[in-house]
Amino acid sequence: MHDIKRNDPCTCGSGKKYKKCCASKGSDNAIQAILEREVVSVQSELLRHAFSYTEFSYAVQKNKSKYNPPESMKESFCFFVGVWTLFTSKVLSGKTALEQFCVSYILNLRPVVQEIVRSWIGKTPSVVKVVGIEGRDLVVHDIFSKELKDIKIIDELMEIPKQGALLVGYIVPFTADVSTFFTSVLSFEDEMADKVEQFLCWKFTDSAAEASAASEFLQERFLDLVDLFMSDRELDSVEAEPHACVSAQAAAVVNLLEEKVQSEDMPESVIKAGSTLWQKYYHKKQPLIKNEKIYAAALHYLLVDKVFPVYRRTQKATAELYDASIASVSSRSREMAFVLEEELKELCVK
């Protein structure tokens, strides 16, 4: 077979010259492959750069310590904690590790890669179902926004999911209208995909009074959900038990209340009443907890104001005890008192 010259007719039969047809496509494919390798590489470099900061490593360890995944899943869980912390935790002088990377390191990259990485700032987790597959190109359907998205799998080590698979993780911009996965995602297939989708829709509906959008819900609950999905627990049993999926932040509220109550030499009955009230409140409201101190302080004030008046203290003093905003504690305690009106009456009668 003789070599094709650039001005020869293209062998594909298009009628165009080779240089204007398949030669150009081959060049475009090569450029695309280079870009894909660079973006895969920078995703790994982002995490390495983030872990070079003591503050980031500490934040990951702190977030990880709130959970106890199965031994076989601990490494995978730690990876997802790192990814979530990278996008979410402003631990580097008020910046996330991703934002800091875009300030201090990004100039080492080609301009086109810089633009791609900057577009990842502020992204939140997604839950999507695979509705189309062509090679390593996917069409997915977001179960909350109902949007269709084009996804390209650029990491050659990542397995191509099945049709109908449910994917949970970070989807970030890549080129034009095409997105890609940030490193890895959780994948569920067949019956499990349906169960996880139903469970997530149920949890979102149950907490919608506090969540302004699905993106906020997923950002706040991402680690709770990953921990649950990596556990051996059946989702059906979690739906049947209102308190079974209490988030780590929710547990932290009770722990903080217990710490402060003990520091004030108050009896165990205060802690017990506080735990009961908090479980009732959490079940009713399913709050998205951004600051545990505010909820713990509001609960503490409610207890000493309504149930144990012998230990009564002002809202200001209570807020200061927890290093929380007085205005936030005041607002939250009023809301709690309204939600828990019947429960408070029962405790006061006792």
> Who wins on pLDDT, 55 or 217?
55
CATH number of 125-230: 2.40.50.140
Express each pLDDT in 27-43 by its tens digit: 567 788 899 999 999 99
The pLDDT of residue 245: 42
Express each pLDDT in 290-347 by its tens digit: 889 999 999 999 999 999 999 999 999 999 999 999 999 999 999 899 889 888 888 8
Express each pLDDT in 74-125 by its tens digit: 999 999 999 999 999 999 999 999 999 999 889 889 999 999 999 999 999 9
Average pLDDT in the chain? 86
**Cα end-to-end distance, the chain, whole Å:** 96
CATH number of 248-348: 1.10.472.10
Domain range annotation of the chain = 16-120, 125-230, 248-348
Express each pLDDT in 161-207 by its tens digit: 999 999 999 999 999 889 999 999 999 999 899 889 888 887 777 65
Residue with tokens 């502020």: 122
**pTM: predicted TM-score of the whole model, two decimal places:** 0.63
